[in-house]
């Protein structure tokens, strides 16, 4: 470190020599750009760089201009003229991306023929990327030609999770990170400090590694290390925070992109079991956009309504004389917004409505003797003052709960079957399915109960209104029921709140059966449903089927070693609510254009069929003319040969004209 004796200070730089080049690479990756304070930043460079810059030729050489090559748009599929959706299938070692449309439009878009050894595939939340998992790590693909967009070197990766806004990726491997001697070093690779960890957080655009974690904390109890909860890291809806739980102790919230612990301290919560972030609804996004516009304009005027901050909910069990408790917490203010005490609690499950309007806490309670269990639904109304809570009491055990997307209804699957929890071979558990709806200014009311079902899964259409009740994972039953909850009401009026009697038109549209079904998923438009039977679960009649919302089968393919079927997600519409209202109002005009396209397609198909028939007839006539010509030449040749031989042959033919039999009487 050169020293200036006159000032008694260093000259502002120093030379550091390492034993190995990897150590020097690590030092640059870790320390270059490190901020000492607001005015001082630490810089680290190779000594060879200084020599190279000192020995540079001072003569200016104009660089060669490279031809501009435009990059493919990662959301180009949204501009498809037919507005088709896409889906990916994984069978054997083959991954195919397909267009979904009419039979003439359903084409294979891409096949990853040069890549094998897939573990599984996954779409990003907004459909921008498709991720493939390999032994070496994760690859992201995108664009019209499906070129590689990014890669993340996490060997033996088993699970991945995208952040909601597709800015970050979490990877996990059951094998701890090991950095061998001589391994590549840099911001996109693991360093020796990461050894022993299992979870990695990556920046998708740059590919840089942000931080690694161990699957379990050092102070976890041995019994808690038997099972890992996934996703291990849970994201706030705006990608600003990511949190992980230390069961029974605390919730640690990290701030992006630096991955520093927010406020330099965790949320100490004794006995905490689980937590969930509140989703961000359309109302919240509109408020955020208004706030952003006001800030960008530099106006000092206050917005009419401040956008609500991120919220999370967690629950703690009963400890000694303390009751179980559900707590709503604002973040980053860490303000407790609402608490609800619960008694005789066995288990709690947290269910957010996708717009963040409601929160349902499914509470499994036990009697004082603890011999039987019943269920309560604690429903928080998140858009009302002081977050009021309504209790829906149920006598049976709830197997599944699901909110209607962008709606005020929910469906539950419940059962009082004595075989529940321990069914014998070939025994199917009987269930009941019920629908509930919020009356404005009142409480949730029961709309209808469907008794004596075998359904164990609820799948709402992403547009609401339609719902499928499925029997999944059963070896003896595989039924599908397609229901319309607004059969007798106008959908546009329902969305605008003009029709208050929403439960009057619950109608069964159709039933179907897909043997061995393991997965049920709606497409983004809410018009089609895909069911699949994965070889990861069983090996009987693997394959997939696509149905319309009425339960009519459109496509069914039985494929050996079939593993996955996933619809490609779509990002949120850019149309305003007013524009969407205009589209619904003028839907008949748009439908005429669609009818014309359908008629044009049918006519083009008919024209192709007519052209094919005409070509076949022309070929037949040409062949017939050729045969006649050849036959005529053969006849003329025979007649010429007969005349040259001058031999006349007479043929006598006897023909019986009439024969009469008469009997002579003597």
Residue pLDDT, tens place only, 537-580: 988 899 999 999 999 999 999 999 999 999 999 998 888 888 88
Instruction: Count CB neighbours of 378 within 10 A.
Output: 18
Residue pLDDT, tens place only, 593-608: 778 777 777 776 666 7
Nearest partner of 598 among 41, 82, 36, judged by Cα: 82
Residue pLDDT, tens place only, 389-440: 999 998 888 999 999 999 999 999 998 887 776 666 667 788 999 999 998 7
Token pair of 577 as six digits: 């609510």
What is the average per-residue pLDDT within 262-288? 89
Q: Is 170 exposed, middle or buried (0-12, 13-18, 19+ CB in 10 A)?
A: buried
Q: Which residue has the higher pLDDT, 110 or 188?
A: 188
Nearest partner of 245 among 211, 278, 279, 272, judged by Cα: 272
Residue pLDDT, tens place only, 136-185: 999 999 998 888 999 999 999 999 999 999 999 999 999 999 988 878 88
Query: Do residues 546 and 555 touch, judged by C-beta distance below 8 A?
Result: yes
For the sheet containing 553-558, what is the strand order? 519-522, 528-533, 543-548, 553-558
SS3 at position 111: strand
What pLDDT was estimated at residue 160? 95
For the sheet containing 373-381, what is the strand order? 345-352, 358-366, 373-381, 389-394
Query: Do residues 402 and 460 touch, judged by C-beta distance below 8 A?
Result: yes
d(CA 337, CA 352): 16
Nearest partner of 315 among 338, 286, 332, 288, judged by Cα: 338
What pLDDT was estimated at residue 299? 57
Query: Do residues 277 and 235 touch, judged by C-beta distance below 8 A?
Result: yes
What pLDDT was estimated at residue 235? 95
| Sequential DSSP letters for 545-577 | EEEETTS-EEEEEE-TTEEEEEEPP-PPP-S-H
Among the ranges given (114-123, 334-343, 346-355, 595-604), the one the predictor scored with the smallest mean pLDDT = 595-604
Residues contacting residue 569 through CB under 8 Å, at least 6 positions apart: 123, 124, 125, 126, 127, 524
d(CA 96, CA 90): 7
377 pLDDT exceeds 50? yes
Token pair of 57 as six digits: 């030729």
What is the average per-residue pLDDT within 485-496? 62
Residue 350: pLDDT band (50, 70, 90) is very high
Query: Do residues 485 and 411 touch, judged by C-beta distance below 8 A?
Result: no
Give the long-range contacts of residues 109-112, CB within 8 A, separation 24 or more: 109/146, 110/145, 110/146, 112/141, 112/146
Domains and CATH numbers, the chain: 3-55 (no CATH), 72-216 (no CATH), 396-418+430-487+502-575 (2.130.10.10)
Residue pLDDT, tens place only, 39-96: 888 889 888 888 888 888 888 888 888 888 888 899 999 998 888 899 999 998 888 8
Query: Do residues 294 and 286 touch, judged by C-beta distance below 8 A?
Result: no
Query: Do residues 447 and 506 touch, judged by C-beta distance below 8 A?
Result: yes
Token pair of 56 as six digits: 């540079």
Query: Do residues 43 and 31 touch, judged by C-beta distance below 8 A?
Result: no
What is the average per-residue pLDDT within 179-206? 90
């Amino acid at each position: 470190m050169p020293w200036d004796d006159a000032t008694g200070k260093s000259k502002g730089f120093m030379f550091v020599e390492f034993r190995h080049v990897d150590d020097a690479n690590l030092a640059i990756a870790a320390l270059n750009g490190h901020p000492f304070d607001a005015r001082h930043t630490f810089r680290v460079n190779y000594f060879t760089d200084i020599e190279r810059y000192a020995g540079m030729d001072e003569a200016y050489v104009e660089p060669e201009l490279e031809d501009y090559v435009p990059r493919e748009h990662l959301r180009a599929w949204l501009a498809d003229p037919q507005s088709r959706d896409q889906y990916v299938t994984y069978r054997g070692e083959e991954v195919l991306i397909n267009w979904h449309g009419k039979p003439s439009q359903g084409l294979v878009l891409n096949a990853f023929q040069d890549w094998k050894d897939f573990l599984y595939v996954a779409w990003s939340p907004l459909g921008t990327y498709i991720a493939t998992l390999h032994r070496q790590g994760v690859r992201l693909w995108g664009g019209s030609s499906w070129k590689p967009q990014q890669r993340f070197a996490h060997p033996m990766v088993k699970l991945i999770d995208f952040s909601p806004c597709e800015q970050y990726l979490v990877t996990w491997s059951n094998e701890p990170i090991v950095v061998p001697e001589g391994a590549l070093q840099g911001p996109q690779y693991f360093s020796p400090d990461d050894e022993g960890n299992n979870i990695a957080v990556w920046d998708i655009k740059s590919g840089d590694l942000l931080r690694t974690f161990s699957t379990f904390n050092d102070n976890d109890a041995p019994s808690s290390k038997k099972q890992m909860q996934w996703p291990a890291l849970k994201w706030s809806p705006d990608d600003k925070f990511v949190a992980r739980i230390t069961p029974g102790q605390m919730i640690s919230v990290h701030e992006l992109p630096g991955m520093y612990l927010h406020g330099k301290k965790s949320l100490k919560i004794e006995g905490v079991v689980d937590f969930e972030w509140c989703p961000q609804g359309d109302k919240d996004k509109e408020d955020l956009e208004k706030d952003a516009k006001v800030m960008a304009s530099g106006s000092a005027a206050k917005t009419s309504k401040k956008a609500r901050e991120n919220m999370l909910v967690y629950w703690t069990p009963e400890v000694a004389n303390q009751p179980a408790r559900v707590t709503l917490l604002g973040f980053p203010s860490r303000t407790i917004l609402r608490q609800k005490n619960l008694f005789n609690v066995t288990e709690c499950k947290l269910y957010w409505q996708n717009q963040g309007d409601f929160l349902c806490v499914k509470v499994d309670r036990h009697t004082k003797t603890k011999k039987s269990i019943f269920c309560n639904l604690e429903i928080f109304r998140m858009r009302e003052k002081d977050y009021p809570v309504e209790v829906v009491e149920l006598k049976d055990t709830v197997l599944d709960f699901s909110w209607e997307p962008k709606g005020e209804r929910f469906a539950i699957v419940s059962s009082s079957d004595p075989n529940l929890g321990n069914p014998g071979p070939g025994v199917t558990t009987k269930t009941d399915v019920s629908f509930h709806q919020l009356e404005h200014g009142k409480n949730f009311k029961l709309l209808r109960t469907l008794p004596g079902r075998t359904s164990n899964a609820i799948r709402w259409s992403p547009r609401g209104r339609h719902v499928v009740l499925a029997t999944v994972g059963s070896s003896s039953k595989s039924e599908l029921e397609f229901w319309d909850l607004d059969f007798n009401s106008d959908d546009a009026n329902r969305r605008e709140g003009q029709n208050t009697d929403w439960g009057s038109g619950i109608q069964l549209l159709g039933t179907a059966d897909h043997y061995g079904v393991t997965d049920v998923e709606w497409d983004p438009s809410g018009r089609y449903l895909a069911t699949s039977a994965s070889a990861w679960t069983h090996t009987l009649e693997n394959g997939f089927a696509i149905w319309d919302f009425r339960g009519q089968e459109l496509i069914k393919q039985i494929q050996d070693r079939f593993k996955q079927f996933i619809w490609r997600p779509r990002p949120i519409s850019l149309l305003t609510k007013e524009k969407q209202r205009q589209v619904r109002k003028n839907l008949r005009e748009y439908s005429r254009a669609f009818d014309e396209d359908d008629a044009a397609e049918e006519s083009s198909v008919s024209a192709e069929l007519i052209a094919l028939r005409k070509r076949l007839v022309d070929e037949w006539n040409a062949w017939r003319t050729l045969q006649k010509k050849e036959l005529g030449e053969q006849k003329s040749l025979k007649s010429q040969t007969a005349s040259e031989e001058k031999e006349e042959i007479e043929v006598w033919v006897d023909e019986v004209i009439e024969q009469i039999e008469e009997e002579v009487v003597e």
